[in-house]
Amino acid sequence: MKWKIEYPDRKPEYYDPKEVQLLLSGCTLKNHRKTAEKIFAGAHKTVCAWVLCDTVSIFPAGALEVGDKPQFKYNPRVQPNWMWEEEVVDGCHYHAIMSDASRLHYHQSYGGSHSDYTKIPTKKVATYEY
């Protein structure tokens, strides 16, 4: 698996999650609902979820402390939605999300709290596919 970062003005970039950590700001969790439901029903897996974000910062692996930061989960075989514990968070907007290997965590120290999320439309500046 590689992290794929798409920009509107250049070719996509790919990063090995064992080598880098990403800090995403101004994030919205998105997915192709119909594709996710097909995977949930047994179809072959394909990329169907991503994070829209305003900015992407790339750090060497281990540069950002994860600690006990809450984790977002997305596995359409289990649930065809982005999940936060038992809550569906498709379309929710967050101040910052950070990666740790292949996991995504809410980055509380970057600003706000989980309860600060909002469901708002965002402009596609960079796409971060998970």
Confidence of residue 130 (pLDDT cuts 50, 70, 90): very low
Percent of residues, the chain, with pLDDT higher than 70: 82
Least reliable range by pLDDT among 33-42, 51-60, 110-119: 110-119
Into how many domains does the chain fold? 1
91's torsion region: left (phi>0), alpha (psi -120 to 50) or beta? left
At residue 109, the pLDDT reads 57
Q: Which two tokens stand for residue 64?
A: 């950002």
Report the C-alpha gap between 104 and 68 in whole angstroms. 12
| pLDDT digit string, tens, across residues 41-59 | 999 999 999 999 999 999 9
At residue 3, the pLDDT reads 92
Q: Which domain holds residue 13?
A: 3-129
Confidence of residue 26 (pLDDT cuts 50, 70, 90): very high
At residue 126, the pLDDT reads 42
